[in-house]
């Protein structure tokens, strides 16, 4: 798949293992995992508790490093980067959405979305412009001055997504993004995530335990006991 354009994959695991603890207490969260995710893919990662899916997500998000093996981001081995370089990679190239919205309660939607731009040193006027644009992209035009308590759960998750995409990351990492939402709101959020992938070409990697949510992805990877049990293209989304 990469031979035609000779470009390295966007995300790649090469025999990645992750062990927590030692001796008899050692937990092998991942075991010799090989994985390639190309730009503009929409991948769902599934598996039971303890299967390794969250550990894989943490490594992909540069929140953790492998015990052995290599994690490459656009051909660069992430584990060999100094900690500050990994932090810069997270800040500039990755966006995160979590099950808990992780919004600052007494802060407006606009100010919540501005946070990643503050860390990047973007001037105030530019921050506000970019944050307002991100809120527009997630369908929250005119809601920027509402606090979290004045927004529904679905609106709060939209704010969280706006915050994740305000820096135009290469990859959106979503960990159970609909876990706290009802069915109808979950569909709205997944339609939004799908549009970010389909219309804007954003690479999406999503952890979920729900088959109906995974069905939005074009590719579904299932982890069991620290290994990839299956990796299949979703025929419904293939077109």
Percent of the chain topping pLDDT 70: 96
What is the overall mean pLDDT for the chain?
A: 92
Beta-carbon contacts of residue 237 (< 8 Å; ≥ 6 apart): 42, 215, 216, 217, 218
| Rounded CA separation 14/7 (Å) | 17
Domain extents in the chain: 11-233
**At residue 164, does pLDDT exceed 70?**
yes
State residue 99's pLDDT score.
84
**At residue 105, does pLDDT exceed 60?**
yes
User: What confidence tier does 1 reach under pLDDT thresholds 50, 70, 90?
Assistant: very low
**At residue 194, does pLDDT exceed 80?**
yes
| Rounded CA separation 22/204 (Å) | 34
The 10s digit of each residue's pLDDT in 13-52 is 999 999 999 888 899 999 999 999 999 999 999 999 999 9
Please state, in angstroms and as integers, the Cα–Cα distance from residue 73 to each residue in 62, 140, 174, 198, 218, following that order. Answer: 10, 32, 18, 22, 21
State residue 215's pLDDT score.
96
State residue 5's pLDDT score.
57
11-233 homologous superfamily = P-loop containing nucleotide triphosphate hydrolases (3.40.50.300)
User: What confidence tier does 101 reach under pLDDT thresholds 50, 70, 90?
Assistant: confident
State residue 234's pLDDT score.
84
Phi-psi region of 148 (alpha: psi -120 to 50; beta: other; left: phi over 0): alpha
> What's the whole-model pTM score?
0.92
């Amino acid at each position: 798949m990469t031979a035609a354009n000779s470009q390295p994959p966007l995300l790649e695991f090469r025999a990645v293992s992750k062990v927590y603890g030692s001796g008899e207490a050692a937990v092998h969260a991942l075991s010799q995992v090989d994985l390639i995710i190309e730009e503009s893919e929409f991948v769902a990662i599934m598996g039971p508790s303890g299967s390794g899916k969250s550990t894989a997500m943490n490594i992909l998000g540069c929140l953790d490093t492998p015990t052995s093996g290599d994690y490459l981001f656009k051909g660069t081995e992430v584990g060999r980067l100094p900690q500050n370089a990994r932090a810069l990679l997270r800040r500039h190239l990755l966006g995160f959405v979590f099950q808990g919205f992780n919004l600052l309660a007494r802060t407006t939607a606009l100010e919540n979305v501005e946070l990643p731009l503050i860390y990047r040193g973007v001037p105030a006027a530019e921050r506000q412009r970019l944050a307002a644009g991100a809120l527009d992209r997630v369908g929250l035009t005119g809601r920027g001055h509402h606090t979290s308590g004045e927004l529904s759960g679905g609106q709060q998750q939209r704010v969280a997504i706006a915050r994740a995409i305000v820096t135009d990351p290469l990859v959106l990492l979503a960990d159970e993004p609909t876990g706290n939402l009802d069915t109808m709101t979950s569909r709205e959020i997944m339609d939004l995530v799908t549009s970010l992938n389909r219309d804007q070409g954003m690479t999406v990697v999503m952890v979920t335990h729900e088959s109906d949510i995974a069905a939005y992805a074009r590719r579904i990877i299932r982890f069991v006991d620290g290994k990839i049990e299956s990796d299949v293209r979703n025929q419904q989304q293939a077109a």
